[in-house]
Structure 1
Amino acid sequence: MWRQFAEAPEQRLRDRLVLHYAPLVKYVAGRVGTGLPTHVDVGDLVQSGIFGLVDAIEKFEPERGLRFETYAMQRIRGAILDDLRSQDWVPRVVRSRAREAERAMERLGARLNRTPTDAELATELEITVDELRDLYGQLQLTSVVALEDLVAVGKDSGSLVDTLPDDDAVDPVAVLVDQDNRRQLADAIAQLSERDRIVVSLYYFESLTLAEIGKVLGVTESRVSQLHTRAVLRLRAKLVEQAGV
């Protein structure tokens, strides 16, 4: 079907490809929607994801040797996140508190030369640990961010999709930049607490849902959502520090 579409990109063939890969959209939308406020309709996420799938089908180049599923999932997720951001469903006060928490983490990290604990961060923000965990819950939507967004903090690089290797056109500079980005992300992850590292690994690399991670850790899905939010904030603060922005 891909060969036919490459030779003659007709609407009929594109629609068949969309139907064939539609389950990818449902899967990605389900993962992005996990932990979001109840007013966020997963059906809306699926609709946004379909546009990402269509875009992926039209731009995919089979000759590059990449798996379409990997490429498409990045495009689908990107389309969903773009739509969430454009809708601006996160209240301004929540965005402000997220920035405040990130700056506090950055200050503490520089002062302590390590990742601050919840207790230390709460003290820096002049709130209690329970209030900090409530804040993590409020920041759930702001933490819906792909790892490629974290890698791009403070840089002009685009989506991680755009850095996928092309065996027919190796750019040594691009390879070095990509390796440096990945190294910085790996360093930042290594400085997380053990539980945060587990959450990041299981969610982003093993593709487990928050509920499944909760069963692994023996905690509630709500608590895993808090841990995920905390891990993302810590990663962002560390990467911003490394980027010097």
Structure 2
Amino acid sequence: MATYDATATVKRNRAFISSAMSVPMLTREREFELARRWRYSEDEAALHELVLAYVRLVVSMASKFNNYGLPKGDLVQEGNIGLMQAAFRFEPEREIRFSTYASWWIKSAMQDYILRNWSIVRSGTSASQKSLFFNLRWLRAKIQASESGTIPEDTLETISKKLRIGIKEVEAMSNRLASRDQSLSTPIGEDGDDSLEDFLVDNKPSPEDITIRTCDGDTRGRWLVSALDELSDREQMIIRERRLNEDKVTLEALGDRLGITKERVRQIEHKAFEKLKLSMVRISREASISPHRLT
């Protein structure tokens, strides 16, 4: 089985970045020429040249997100996806530089990737939540708030007003940023023999409980079959269609099928259901007296 070689990965990433930064920059005229050729003639060679020239922009933007603890190579890869989206959507007739337009798509792709992978607990992806996630750190540092401690009330209010987001949202996101995910396998205690997962409570039913429930369900199923056999064919059909099937048939539809009024169907259903309950009670009592009955 192949193993992950971190050194080789770093070398490949450096080679890619070096190659991207060596590609000549485009003039405004050349940029618009390539964009028009791709948009109106689907010239793939033009698309390739246009995108390749701005991979340097992806690399540059990836460096701005280094402090989120994610591999730069992954950020560059996500940024390249954003760059391709920009190339497919760019409208040269709007007379804006492709780099300006692409920057938004690249940044958005990287931010979405960070939000997906920064924590196993999914962060909000609304516009306000994204703004809060990516602006809270620098804004808090700017007003000299503690990076790891509790944010004072006046600081919360300042950040809330600056980002136009509720104070509770700011406080919740701050708590998220103050503590990263921790592996359940992390050793704890003086000797390190225990881990966090050793102290988690398992609320799932035990194998014994599952077996008992399964057996009880099978038993009740046999009781129901026996109780249904005590009903007439018409009563069985109505009970099955009205009580036992997932898709309940209407009283009117059953009435049309049986040639009776829907009120008559309702009366038969009520009477049959009462008979069924009495039969179930009697059969369960008989089974408790004679455990081998119905088995």
TM-score over 0.5 for the alignment?
no
Structure with higher Rg: it is 2
Structure having the larger proportion of residues in helix? 1
* RCO higher in structure (CA 8 A, sep ≥6): 1
Relative to the length of structure 2, the TM-score reads 0.34
